[in-house]
Amino acid sequence: MFDIERWQEIFDTIRKNKLRTFLTGLSVASGIFILVILLGFGQGMQNGIAHEFEQDASTSVWVWPGVTSKEYKGLNPGRRIQLTNENYETAANLFHDVIENKSPRNFVRNITVNYGKEALVYGVQGVSAQFQFIENVTMSEGRFINYLDESNTGKVAIIGNKIKRDVFTDVDSPVGELIEISGIPFKIIGVFGEQEEREEERIYIPITTAQRVFNGGDRINHMSYTLPPVENFDQAVAQAVSFKNEMKAYVQQAHTIAPDDTSGVEVWSAMEEAKRYYSLTGNIKFFFWFVGICTIIAGVVGVSNIMLIVVKERTREIGIRKALGAKPWSIVGMILHESIFVTAISGFGGLIFSMGLLEIVGPHIEVDYIINPSVNFTVAISTVFVLILAGTIAGFFPAWRAARIHTIEALRDV
Amino acid sequence: MIEIKDLHKSYKMGSNSLHVLKGINFKAEEGELVAIMGSSGSGKSTLLNILGMLDVADEGEYILDGVPIKDLNETKAANYRNKFLGFIFQSFNLINYKNALENVALPLYYQRMPRKARQEKALKYLELVGLKDWAHHLPSELSGGQKQRVAIARAMAAEPKVVLADELTGALDSVTSYEVMDLVQKINDQGNTILVVTHEDDIAHMCKRIIHLKDGVIEKDEKVKQVRASEYV
């Protein structure tokens, strides 16, 4: 197929018809460019959403009580449900083989927090040791609460990075400093970081301390868990759903809540939520592909349109060539060869340009829900081939028509 | 060289059929310079198209250099055209983005001649028509007469058995016409067979034989005394 004479003939034609070649190439290159950028942003969006979910442990499950809405076993609706240590212990026993981490949480209310003379307005929460892994916090200084703190009802506190920045400006490290919670001194033993600043405005103390010192009794506000990681996403979702249902059933049974009462107890699983977001990204990706394919179709239509015009413009030339002894297939070959060459070169040009742009600019893009837009090279290159192939098929018909042009008519004076 | 027997051709115009050629018979020997004359509608262009294998006859025989031309498909016709025929058109029909040399070399490309050989040969024929110095000019930079001479060089470059010229002086003034005819006569003197379609009497009389066409039949076929175009130049 490598016919040097044909190539020379085609280069001649291209060199002498620069504008036409340029316009054809431009339409192809911009089609590819738009497609690659779109796909890149689809990927960026997926990256962004995945990033949002890295904040909490992806398998976390949270349980909190509500108010019953249905009459059940002689109990009136409108009952406020309160979780207790007993519920937490029983649940831990019941589900010990499916739980990875567990922690209760107690919001400590009606307290004042002071550092020296400064009043702090941060929320105080009583939690257990494994809460660190459930909230996915990273310790930047010191350590998190441990079991010893809990059994000793230790007067220790963990603060967020934001509190450190806002309050502890005069000391090197807040670790070892004392804060007063309702007049009782607590020693800071650690500083934690979170993905979101809002969650760094918290002070954690041991759950036992929260309950005993601040009059919490055996009440807890949340029970939180993580489930062990599973390779397969669908399995992880299934695991989360089954745990959620069993947990709900247990709490409903323990507090005599109607099984079909939707408001008595809430169980929230990050996995299920993630699944919704992943199917959303799936849809977004599908949408971008759809737009991309439409762009390609538009590109193909553009190419074949230009081909049609080119053929029309070259009618006379084709007539002359035929009169000089060009065979129909040599006309088809010439036009297709030229168009494939132009489409391929400009397609790759558009590809390289857009991928270069994504490579250079992509890593700097970090707004909400869009991170590092990039595109799969194989996908991009196969779209170029699809475009070339489709352009060839679309270009074949004008070329074939050109070859069938009646020589006399082509040569007739215009 | 050319022999046609009882050639018929009609065109369908809607429901009507227009009978253009109504049985043409003639023979042309090698080295002849024949003018085909007739008013418009006489069928002379149709005859030339059939001779040039750009069109096919409904009936009749056409033998070119001993080869019966029949059952033509596009590819076969293209082959014959390339091997046997050279064309000269009224409107020159040069490819406007190719220079004179490339235009002349084009039929040789379709003969699959290598690039170098093509260019040498094309230059030789440009020299023959006196345009060697203009080899690298585009058609738009040439005068009408020069364009037609390039076209003649192109027709000759393939070394055809027969050159067919359709109103080759139609777009030229009389002085240029005579210059071009002078060239045609010289080429004919070298033994090439040339058929010229024209409606101009003076051009026709520069040939050696005139065939008068009228209403699709040959009215008169006469040998004439050739007027040398060089007398006017």
Is the model's pLDDT at B232 over the cut of 50? yes
Regarding whether A48 and A79 lie in a shared domain, the answer is no
Q: Enter the DSSP assignment of A82.
A: -
- CATH number of the CATH domain containing B212: 3.40.50.300
Q: Is B78 on the interface with A (CB under 8 A)?
A: yes
Q: What is the pLDDT of residues A286-323, one digit of tens each?
A: 887 788 778 777 777 777 777 777 778 788 888 888 88
Q: Is residue B27 part of a domain?
A: yes
Domain limit, last residue, from A243, A268, A293:
A268
Q: Is residue B47 part of a domain?
A: yes
Going by pLDDT thresholds of 50, 70 and 90, the confidence category of residue B5 is: very high
Long-range contacts of B125-132 (CB under 8 A, 24+ apart): B125/B153, B125/B154, B125/B156, B125/B157, B126/B100, B126/B101, B126/B150, B126/B153, B128/B153, B128/B156, B128/B187, B129/B153, B129/B183, B130/B183, B131/B100
Regarding whether A143 and A13 lie in a shared domain, the answer is no
Q: What is the pLDDT of residues B23-52, one digit of tens each?
A: 999 899 999 999 999 888 788 888 888 898
Q: Do B93 and A322 touch (CB under 8 A)?
A: no
Average pLDDT over residues B207-215: 92
CB contacts of A324 in chain B (<8 Å) are 81-82, 87, 106-107, 110, 154, 158
Q: Is B10 on the interface with A (CB under 8 A)?
A: no
Domain limit, last residue, from A268, A302, A323:
A268
Domain count, chain B: 1
Regarding whether A394 and A319 lie in a shared domain, the answer is yes
Give yes or no for a contact between B44 and B211, defined as CB atoms under 8 angstroms apart: no
User: What mean pLDDT value characterizes chain B?
Assistant: 89
- Strand pairing class (B162-166; B85-88): parallel
Q: Is B190 on the interface with A (CB under 8 A)?
A: no
Average pLDDT over residues A84-105: 92
Q: What is the pLDDT of residues A339-370, one digit of tens each?
A: 888 888 888 888 888 888 888 887 777 776 67
Regarding whether A216 and A70 lie in a shared domain, the answer is yes
A390 vs A290: CA distance, rounded Å: 17
Q: Is residue B25 part of a domain?
A: yes
DSSP string of A23-57, one letter each residue: HHHHHHHHHHHHHHHHHHHHHHHHHHHHHHHTSS-
Q: Is B11 on the interface with A (CB under 8 A)?
A: no
First to last CA, chain B: 31
Give yes or no for a contact between A159 and A203, defined as CB atoms under 8 angstroms apart: yes
Dihedrals φ, ψ of A101, to 5°?
-125, 150
Amino acid identity of residue A297, one-letter, is: I
Which of A383 and A68 is assigned the larger pLDDT? A68
Q: What is the pLDDT of residues A26-35, one digit of tens each?
A: 878 888 888 8
Q: Do B110 and A316 touch (CB under 8 A)?
A: no
Is the model's pLDDT at A90 over the cut of 90? yes
pLDDT value for A1: 44
| Host domain of residue B44 | 2-94+145-231
Domain limit, last residue, from A213, A236, A268:
A268
pLDDT value for B139: 93
Segment among A2-6, A64-68, A110-114 with least mean pLDDT: A2-6
Average pLDDT over residues A210-235: 87
Q: Is residue B20 part of a domain?
A: yes
Is the model's pLDDT at B172 over the cut of 50? yes
Regarding whether A118 and A262 lie in a shared domain, the answer is yes
Segment among A79-88, B116-125, B167-176 with least mean pLDDT: B167-176
Q: For A325, which of B97, B107, B115 is closest by C-beta distance? A: B107
CB contacts of B154 in chain A (<8 Å) are 324
pLDDT value for A55: 60
Q: Is residue B17 part of a domain?
A: yes
pLDDT value for A292: 76
Percentage of chain A lying above the pLDDT 90 cut: 30
Regarding whether A360 and A381 lie in a shared domain, the answer is yes
CB-based contacts of A4: which residues, under 8 Å, 6+ apart? none
Regarding whether A197 and A66 lie in a shared domain, the answer is yes
CB-based contacts of A234: which residues, under 8 Å, 6+ apart? none
Q: What is the pLDDT of residues A398-408, one digit of tens each?
A: 788 878 877 77
- Strand pairing class (A60-65; A265-269): antiparallel
For B211, the token pair is 């065939």
Regarding whether A144 and A239 lie in a shared domain, the answer is yes
| Host domain of residue A403 | 4-53+277-411
Regarding whether A247 and A264 lie in a shared domain, the answer is yes
For A103, the token pair is 């922690």
Average pLDDT over residues B120-130: 92
- Strand pairing class (A370-371; B2-13): unpaired
Q: Is residue B24 part of a domain?
A: yes
Dihedrals φ, ψ of A340, to 5°?
-65, -45
Q: Is residue B140 part of a domain?
A: no
Q: For A327, which of B52, B78, B109 is closest by C-beta distance? A: B78
CB contacts of B110 in chain A (<8 Å) are 321, 324-327, 330
Dihedrals φ, ψ of A118, to 5°?
-90, 135
Q: Is residue B39 part of a domain?
A: yes
B220 vs B201: CA distance, rounded Å: 14
Nearest residue of chain A to residue B159 (CA atoms)? A324
pLDDT value for A364: 76
Segment among A290-299, B8-17, B146-155 with least mean pLDDT: A290-299
Closest-CA distance, A311 to chain B, in angstroms, reads 14
Average pLDDT over residues A117-127: 91
Q: What is the pLDDT of residues A363-378, one digit of tens each?
A: 777 776 677 777 777 8
pLDDT value for A286: 83
Regarding whether A287 and A223 lie in a shared domain, the answer is no
Question: What are the CA-CA distances from residue A335 to residues A304, A312, A386, A391, B95 (Å)?
Answer: 12, 12, 19, 12, 16
Q: Do A324 and B87 touch (CB under 8 A)?
A: yes
pLDDT value for A41: 80
Segment among A90-104, A352-366, A373-387, B144-158 with least mean pLDDT: A373-387
Q: For B54, which of A8, A329, A407 is closest by C-beta distance? A: A407
Domain count, chain A: 2
Q: Is B147 on the interface with A (CB under 8 A)?
A: no
Regarding whether A299 and A241 lie in a shared domain, the answer is no
Examine the predicted complex and report whether its ipTM is higher than 0.85. Answer: yes
Per-residue H/E/C for chain B = CEEEEEEEEEEEECCEEEEEEEEEEEEECCCCEEEEECCCCCCHHHHHHHHCCCCCCCEEEEEECCEECCCCCHHHHHHHHHHHEEEECCCCCCCCCCCHHHHHHHHHHHCCCCHHHHHHHHHHHHHHCCCHHHCCCCHHHCCHHHHHHHHHHHHHHCCCCEEEEECCCCCCCHHHHHHHHHHHHHHHHCCCEEEEEECCHHHHCCCCEEEEEECCEEEEEEECCCCCHHHCC
Regarding whether A237 and A168 lie in a shared domain, the answer is yes
